[in-house]
Amino acid sequence: MYALTLNHRVGASGMSSKSESPPSGSAERRSPTQADIARAARVSTATVSRVLNHSPLVREEVRGRVEQAMARLGYFPHGAARALASNRSFTIGAILPTLNNAIFANGINAFEAILARSRYTLLLAVSHYNARTEATLVRRLLERGIDGLMLVGNDHSRKTYESLRRAAKPYVNTWAFDPARGHANIGFSNRVAIAQVVDHLVGLGHRRIGMLAGITAGNDRARERLEGVRERLAAHGLALAEGATVEIPYSVRAARRTLAEMIEQDALPSAMVCGNDVIALGVLFEALDRGIRVPEDLSVTGFDDLPIVEHVRPALTTVQVPARRMGDAAAQALVEACEKGVPVRSLELEATLLLRATTAPPATP
Amino acid sequence: MYALTLNHRVGASGMSSKSESPPSGSAERRSPTQADIARAARVSTATVSRVLNHSPLVREEVRGRVEQAMARLGYFPHGAARALASNRSFTIGAILPTLNNAIFANGINAFEAILARSRYTLLLAVSHYNARTEATLVRRLLERGIDGLMLVGNDHSRKTYESLRRAAKPYVNTWAFDPARGHANIGFSNRVAIAQVVDHLVGLGHRRIGMLAGITAGNDRARERLEGVRERLAAHGLALAEGATVEIPYSVRAARRTLAEMIEQDALPSAMVCGNDVIALGVLFEALDRGIRVPEDLSVTGFDDLPIVEHVRPALTTVQVPARRMGDAAAQALVEACEKGVPVRSLELEATLLLRATTAPPATP
DNA sequence: TTGAAAGCGCTAACAA
DNA sequence: TTGTTAGCGCTTTCAA
């Protein structure tokens, strides 16, 4: 009978004096391993493993015994050991450019929810819009054994893509849709999205249109939005207003300062397209504080539809981004890629222009 | 010479036909292990491990050879194997109640930054203000081998604390300071913080004060704020206004709806203390939309100092929470606990009342 | 349907 | 200062 209860460690190492199984009833409190469960349930560790992994080839009666033993001994599996043996960690990574404003909150929230439901854990890292930092983080996450990775946008360093390729882990680029660049995309076309804004503004009669874009270096979303405005304006025979088009960080303060300068230089356009809602709020607040009427004197548009912007007065006209759906779909795609080995497929979602109260025909056409 | 190059696996398993080292120059592309590095640098795997872990007892010349081999072969360490062998994962967990509003953004941002700098990775999970969910997540994070854990508040299920104790991992409760409850706290006293608000309002002459608190069940921060208001009001010989004190979710919408009801029932106090900034913004926007002047007809206070609230008009009087410092300190404490084995020590930080434009003496005293 | 045992890649105790 | 080697706890052939 005792032959059955020997675990392979003891069996393998023979009678080495220090590594025998701990004396039963000792004060030693190491947490129970599969070997302990195996002994208690009078099965092999292989069977314990099968029960743990819901293998169909375990007799009901045996499964019951094992599960009871697990419960009684308070067993819980050792992730690192599982990962080492199976080459899967049930862990998925995500790298966001920032956590500072609420832009990615909804998306990552949805992403985490799906992962948690699928018993995966999220490894989160922040690149601060820096591709080199990101490459380091990707490598670190890969070292930690992530089974898949979510990235934002398509602009990533060669090293990042190279690490991913060598590790042969599934990944997906979100918040963009430009599969021509050769990566799985779950997101929307920033270019198409911003074109709706331009059409709206031009349709309203605006001719002098400026833009407070995000910093475009290393940020394809910001770049696509800026280029999208240029392109669409050109289609209407227009161009971005000189002196009213600048790249700035995504901060209320930067936006306020920039608008203030434009006002002082008398360079204000009749409509200001903003790279995101944070910038738009800055423009809105600064304009209001200076007695510039919105939308009568200045139309303002945002991008993201942060939860707050429908409540400010005047309510912000903006582009609603499918953040939740991107998070959902990205997580689902990654989990599926891990479980079934299918490749991640690109998915185009739509961003919707939300007409609210910060846009109107120009007062002085 | 070849004796040196045998790795222990081959050595241990003798000449089993399938598990020999792969033929050099084969197409097989498994990523290199320490054994490969050891062979290439003509040292043992122990030395490779020492180099990897910056052990001081490796000769410079040897270290150089090993590092070169690592670079040449594109070696990178296998986290799960390291974790299994060393019982450390260089991974730290955090469980937040929500990611939906920006409340925790700054804190987790700072937390992640410190971890990343210390070469740790963040495992993030979201409890949705549910203690049972949280207990499951704690267990899952522990299974993943986290070296430490950050939690928000002191209200956690018995199972949560029990898991932590059994795993003997360091943890810290943030966003609260009440070490009497028996857990390491890095944060501030919500009670003391909100008392400043009460003093301010009472000092202004308010006597009819209401509160839109967060849901207090399972949320000690919300509870401390509500109780803190009661307690401090009592010290002034006052009580919370009946019919103007409700617990609601942290959402603009819920706050607006609740304020609307109070207005319709003519139950409006002269000052409304809000459980956080999201609620305060809801109150502010609803009041403004209904022609109730803030602060003349209604004083409003928030809690958190979200980045936006200094910009809305009137700018919100609120309590500034040391989110960044909590994130910093919590991460530092946890890393130190992991590296040096010292226990996490409680640290009290201060929350500051920020007087802005939504509070003034009551119009009808 | 079950068990035996060989590793997964690394660390660390011990020996040299 | 370096090497040998026994595990860490689990999964996964392979054999029975």
Residue B342 beta carbon within 7 A of nucleic strand C: no
Tell which phi-psi region holds residue B183, choosing left (phi > 0), alpha (psi between -120 and 50) or beta.
Answer: beta
pLDDT beyond 60 at A352: yes
Contact B102/A106, CB-based, under 8 Å? no
pLDDT beyond 90 at A214: yes
CA of B57 to C1' of D2 (A): 9
Q: Which residue is nearest to nucleotide C7 (CA to C1')?
A: B9
CA of A1 to C1' of C8 (A): 30
Give the pLDDT of residue A364.
Answer: 65
Amino acid at A31: S
What does pLDDT average to over chain A?
Answer: 91
- Which tens digit of pLDDT belongs to each residue from A29-46? 678 999 999 999 999 999
Residue A320 beta carbon within 7 A of nucleic strand C: no
Q: Which nucleotide is nearest to A38 (CA to C1')?
A: C3
Give the pLDDT of residue B101.
Answer: 80
Confidence grade of residue B364 (pLDDT, cut at 50, 70, 90) = low
Average pLDDT over residues A197-210: 98
| Cα–Cα distance measured from residue B116 to residue B88, given in angstroms and rounded to the nearest whole number | 16
Q: Which residues on A lie below 8 Å from B81 (Cβ)?
A: 80, 84
Residue B89 beta carbon within 7 A of nucleic strand C: no
pLDDT beyond 60 at A338: yes
Residue A271, token pair as written in the block: 């409509």
Average pLDDT over residues A47-64: 94
The interface residues of chain A toward chain B in range 131-150, judged by CB-CB distance below 8 A, are: 137, 139-145
Confidence grade of residue A27 (pLDDT, cut at 50, 70, 90) = very low
Among the partner residues A76, A121, A167, nearest to B125 by beta-carbon distance:
A121
Confidence grade of residue B30 (pLDDT, cut at 50, 70, 90) = confident
Give the pLDDT of residue B28.
Answer: 45
CA of A46 to C1' of C2 (A): 8
pLDDT beyond 70 at B182: yes
Residue A356 beta carbon within 7 A of nucleic strand D: no
pLDDT beyond 80 at A22: no
Distance, in angstroms, between B234 CA and closest chain A CA? Answer: 35
Residue B90 near residue B263, CB atoms below 8 Å: no
Cα A3–chain centre separation:
52
Confidence grade of residue A5 (pLDDT, cut at 50, 70, 90) = very low
Average pLDDT over residues B312-320: 97
Candidates A106, A124, A137: best to mutate against B (most CBs of B within 10 A) is A124
Give the pLDDT of residue A60.
Answer: 93
C-alpha distances in angstroms, A42 versus A13, A48, A62?
Answer: 21, 10, 9
Q: Count the residues in chain B.
A: 365
Confidence grade of residue A9 (pLDDT, cut at 50, 70, 90) = very low
Residue A144: closest C-alpha in chain B: B79
Instruction: Give chain A's count of helices (H) and strands (E).
Output: 14, 12
- Quote helix, strand, coil % in chain A, to nearest 5: 45, 15, 40
| Cα–Cα distance measured from residue B134 to residue A58, given in angstroms and rounded to the nearest whole number | 32
Average pLDDT over residues A218-222: 97
Give the pLDDT of residue A29.
Answer: 63
Give the pLDDT of residue A13.
Answer: 31
Residue A68 beta carbon within 7 A of nucleic strand D: no
Give the pLDDT of residue A100.
Answer: 86
pLDDT beyond 60 at B3: no
Residue A77 beta carbon within 7 A of nucleic strand D: yes
Instruction: Give chain B's count of helices (H) and strands (E).
Output: 14, 12
- Which tens digit of pLDDT belongs to each residue from B73-127? 999 999 999 999 999 999 999 999 999 888 999 999 999 999 999 999 999 999 9
CA of A3 to C1' of D5 (A): 26
pLDDT beyond 60 at B243: yes
Taking CB atoms and an 8 Å cut-off, how many pairs form between chains A and B? 147
Amino acid at B170: P
Among the partner residues A79, A100, A311, nearest to B105 by beta-carbon distance:
A100
Confidence grade of residue A28 (pLDDT, cut at 50, 70, 90) = very low
pLDDT beyond 50 at A77: yes
Average pLDDT over residues B293-301: 97
Average pLDDT over residues A100-109: 92
State the DSSP string of B304-352: B--GGGGTSSSPPBEEEP-HHHHHHHHHHHHHHHHHH-PPPPPEE---E
Confidence grade of residue B29 (pLDDT, cut at 50, 70, 90) = low
- Which tens digit of pLDDT belongs to each residue from B146-163? 999 999 999 999 999 999
- Which tens digit of pLDDT belongs to each residue from A140-193? 999 999 999 999 999 999 999 999 999 999 999 999 999 999 999 999 999 999
